[in-house]
């Protein structure tokens, strides 16, 4: 199947590790020229090297999405290097931890909204003029199952993910006239390297295997995942690639859940 992505240019925020890294590599495998943005130079260069080892083209950009100047300079770098921008993947964000409402300060709320929501707004606002010039502009925002099925804990994180889904729908209506399709991908429990390490530490602490620790976490915190396993970053990445492709040319404003059946509603 020809996805029609060859020679397109994509910017993936938070593209140096975890889900963002998997997205960047999956796009590069479809001959997309990929710019990856994050705050860590070392991690960026490692991911860039891995992409280029497979014969693909990559650009690494040290960029803090909470800083207006950083975002403007970062996107200018993409245009100066590649001459265009066709796909924006707003992946960068933070998960603060499993805190209860009473333990979250107002400054914590401000911080997570500045990164998870306003960081996406800054990046999209700056990239929009260039996406309008593309013949197949795409914006893909990474949210979470927590945006539609929140837990009782970490309400600040849950609220940002709900805001992303709502914002996506609004943008999909606003930007369609410019030929830009905007969609959300909402993962559930994805076994990123960071989460894999946390599961290993929990297993060591309890004197059980990592797989037992994962199954325990699923039972206690994600019992609705019907396939009874965590997802992997590549499964999220393949959904992003599809939404970026010509095969998704009539999909706009949707929230594609990559959750193993976790969300109980339709």
Which residues, other chains included, contact 129 with Cβ-Cβ below 8 Å and sequence gap of 6+? Answer: none
Which residues, other chains included, contact 132 with Cβ-Cβ below 8 Å and sequence gap of 6+? Answer: 178, 179, 180
Instruction: Tell me whether residue 157 is one of the annotated catalytic residues.
Output: yes
Token code pair at residue 248: 């998704």
Q: What is the dihedral of CA 195, 200, 206, 208, to 10 degrees?
A: 120
Write down the residue that tokens 């009473």 correspond to: 102
CA distance 102 to 99: 8
Taking Cα atoms as reference points, which of 129, 45, 15 lies closest to residue 79?
129
Contact between 45 and 59 (Cβ < 8 Å): no
CA distance 83 to 34: 12
- Catalytically annotated residue among 82, 130, 157, 171: 157
**What sign for the dihedral angle of Cα 250, 174, 155, 21?**
positive
Beta strand 255-258 with 180-187 is: parallel
Active-site amino acid positions: 157
């Amino acid at each position: 199947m020809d996805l029609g992505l060859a020679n397109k240019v994509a910017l993936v925020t938070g593209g140096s590790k975890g889900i963002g890294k998997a997205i960047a590599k999956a796009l590069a495998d479809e001959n997309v020229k990929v710019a990856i943005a994050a705050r860590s130079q070392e991690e960026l260069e490692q991911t860039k090297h891995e992409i280029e080892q497979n014969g693909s083209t990559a650009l690494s950009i040290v960029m803090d999405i909470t800083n207006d100047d950083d975002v403007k300079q970062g996107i200018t770098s993409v245009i100066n290097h590649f001459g265009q921008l066709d796909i924006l993947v707003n992946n960068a964000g933070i998960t603060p931890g499993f805190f209860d409402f009473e333990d979250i300060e107002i400054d914590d709320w401000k911080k997570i909204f500045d990164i998870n929501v306003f960081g996406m707004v800054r990046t999209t606002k700056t990239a929009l003029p260039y996406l309008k010039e593309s013949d197949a502009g795409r914006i893909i925002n990474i949210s979470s199952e927590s945006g539609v099925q929140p837990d009782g804990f970490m309400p600040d994180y849950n609220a940002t993910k709900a805001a992303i889904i709502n914002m996506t729908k609004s943008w999909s209506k606003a930007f369609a006239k410019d030929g830009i399709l905007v969609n959300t991908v909402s993962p559930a429990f994805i076994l990123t390297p960071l989460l894999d390490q946390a599961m290993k530490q929990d297993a060591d602490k309890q004197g059980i295997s990592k797989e037992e620790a994962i199954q325990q976490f699923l039972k206690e915190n994600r019992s609705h995942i019907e396939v009874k396993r965590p997802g992997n970053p590549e499964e999220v990445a393949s959904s992003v690639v599809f939404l970026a492709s010509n095969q998704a040319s009539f999909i706009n404003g949707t929230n594609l859940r990559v959750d193993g059946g976790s969300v109980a509603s339709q």
